[in-house]
Structure 1
């Protein structure tokens, strides 16, 4: 199996916060230790699940520094630096590099909906200016702009564009790009982890990995070994917790609540426009954790 500068079992990490909304630095370190202990070899900082739209640029860079300081060489740290402003993305890529990131996550521009030609030029401009390997993030449900198959094939020629986090939900498009390029493919939607791995994905960038890292590491290992029966069993066992985290409200909200349930962090605080889940959502979460065999703190 080809090695990766990003890792293979990766979680898109939450940004722990204190009740006043400030970043909880002790919580950051605690989450990193939890991820290391549960089968991860990589982490994404300042992604959607990290509430990146509500973090200032300074906070985003401080998160990279804090996670890298806590992880050392135990986790590959990939920093989200995407923006719908190309110049800002280039600036953030440079700052994240200086802060110690091992790789960069670049999402397609959101809201302004560029053409595919504009998306190609935007992404190449960031990659030309960057010094670190880049994972593209394809999530048109949030950005409104997908990476077309042809665009990804063209971007694969760039020496720093090495991987794709795929949350598009189009398995056939994924197959076409994987067949045509050497891009390392990552499932970016937990409900599709098994499907992507079975058709050749290199790894996962997960939200449910906050609570199911060991299980996902076992799934990756099972697919590597050709043991699809075991991988499928894991996939089926995790259905309740995937539904609880990803279908109840928002992944970031529910992942923080789950980490509180597991005793990893003290507070499930999120920033507006997110709000914490109501009691009935916590009931769904607890039921999902229990049904998937994931224990909670006493």
Structure 2
């Protein structure tokens, strides 16, 4: 089981929108040095929606190569086509990913039965640990806890990223499936509390800019040291909010550029962080001690 702080890694890009491979490699090395426990490569924060298949898989390959077994690599392979999700998942398995993250099919809004059949088909088709991902605020579809419970125990399905931010619902989910699959937070603001309730880690946007703090906070929470975990996450609490001032990953990519970790490249239809928002993100970075 993969535990701890799992960064939802951005995909660095040049000003023309091409992938900045040198910056990507440097980010992976930084996360290794900072103690991040795992990297999600080309998840939704990694702009999976705008990378073509060849680029997508090359990013996964490079991250695996640079990580070299020093931390877990989870490949984002979700799609709103079950067939495409199976193909991407198989490709990630062939590349040597430790696991995959499968966002719920977006836009086509499947029923709960459709979600069940979608994930069951992927699990049956590809032999690799698979983490479900529910983020209704971005996809337009909400996978209910009852549906997750139906999938729990399915071979190859090992976890779920719950990005609802609803701790009552998260606690219920852990009670339903926690003995059969890992429950990860997908909401930085509530992640530590979910871990203290029995969650196994945090798939994090904030970890892109504060990897050491997030890794230490997750470790403390997993060890049951609630006061220490809350103290650590409080130090970056402003980031949990401000990094969503505009659509993710717009603010976090700008923040990393401000920190000198990469350039400002981002792909349309996303655009560089607006001038009005930049001072607020800069102030949060400074207040959190990462700038």
- Residue in 2 that maps onto 1:90: 86
Q: Which residue of 2 aligns with 1:254?
A: 251
Give unpaired runs (5+ residues) of structure 2.
none
Tell me, in whole angstroms, the C-alpha distance in 2 between the residues paired with 1:217 and 1:69. Answer: 22
Alpha carbons 1:7, 1:75 under 8 Å: kept: no
- Give 3-state SS (helix, strand or coil) of 1:279's partner: coil
Q: Which residue of 2 aligns with 1:194?
A: 192
Of 129-138 and 143-152, deviating more is 143-152
Which residue of the partner structure matches residue 176 of structure 2?
180
* Runs of 4+ residues deviating >4 angstroms: none
Contact 2:41/2:76 (8 A) holds in 1:
yes
Most deviating of 220-229 and 125-134: 220-229
- Offset at residue 277 of structure 1 (A): 1.0
CA distance in 2, matches of 1:57, 1:240: 35
Q: Which residue of 2 aligns with 1:287?
A: 283
Separation in 2 of the partners of 1:115 and 1:98? 31
Does 1:100 find its partner at 2:122? no
2:222 to 221, 224, 228: 224
The alignment status of 1:122 with 2:113, answered yes or no, reads no
Aligned partners of 2:102 and 2:131 also within 8 Å: yes
CA distance, structure 1, for counterparts of residue 255 and residue 18 of structure 2: 20
The normalised TM-score by structure 2 is: 0.95
2:36 pairs with 1:69:
no
TM-score (norm 1): 0.93
Once residues 124 and 41 of structure 2 are traced to their aligned partners in structure 1, the CA distance between those partners, rounded to angstroms, is 22
Q: State how far apart, in whole Å, the 1-side matches of 2:93 and 2:109 are.
A: 27
2-structure distance, mates of 1:232, 1:102: 29
Uncovered stretches (5+) of structure 1, i.e. residues with no partner: none
- Separation in structure 1 between the aligned mates of residue 25 and residue 35 of structure 2, nearest angstrom: 16
Secondary structure of the residue aligned to 1:122 is helix
1:200-211 residue pairs with structure 2 within 5 A?
A: 200-211=198-209
Q: Which aligned pairs between 1:239-250 and structure 2 lie closer than 5 A?
A: 239-246=237-244, 248-250=245-247
1:7 Cα shift? 4.1
